[in-house]
Amino acid sequence: MIEIKTYICGICGAQYNDKIQCERCVNSHKKPVEIVGASYCRTESKHLGYPARVRIKMSNGSVREYNPCREE
Ligand SMILES: [Zn+2]
């Protein structure tokens, strides 16, 4: 009988047989720290008052822009 050990990244759920690869995955994720800005469309738009875009500061200092309404 052979025992197989699996490591799972607690952030994204990726599975690895190698602990070091899993640790690299865990450490590669940039975590959201703060919302630094948001932009809105006119209230009669399809966004219904929600931000059309949100800018988020990440744990590595970068700022990324997300569009929460993109898939609607
Ligand atoms: Zn991961």
pLDDT in tens, 9-42: 999 999 999 999 999 999 999 999 999 999 987 7
Which among 42, 45, 39 is positioned nearest to 65, based on CA atoms?
39
CA of 49 to the centre of ligand 1 (A): 33
- Going from the Cα of 8 to the center of ligand 1, the distance in angstroms, rounded, reads 8
35/65 same-domain check: yes
pLDDT value for 40: 86
**Structural domain total, the chain:** 2
Q: How far apart are CA 71 and CA 3, in angstroms?
A: 43
Assign 68 a pLDDT band (cuts: 50, 70, 90). low
Range of the domain at 11: 1-30
User: How many Cβ atoms are within 10 Å of 57's Cβ, its own excluded?
Assistant: 16
**Are residues 11 and 41 both part of a single domain?**
no
Q: How far is the CA of 19 from the centre of ligand 1 (A)?
A: 12
Same structural domain for residues 24 and 35?
Answer: no
Name the pTM for this structure: 0.70
Neighbours of ion ligand 1 (CB under 5 A): 9, 11-12, 14, 25
Query: Do 14 and 36 fall within a single domain?
Result: no
- How many Å lie between the centroid of ligand 1 and the Cα of residue 48? 34
Q: Do 21 and 36 reside in the same domain of the chain?
A: no
Q: Is residue 42 domain-shared with residue 70, that is, in the same domain? A: yes
* Per-residue pLDDT reduced to its tens digit, 46-66: 667 788 889 999 999 999 999
Q: CA 67, CA 32: separation in Å to the nearest integer?
A: 15
Whether 38 contacts 55, CB under 8 Å: yes
Q: What is the pLDDT of residue 70?
A: 59
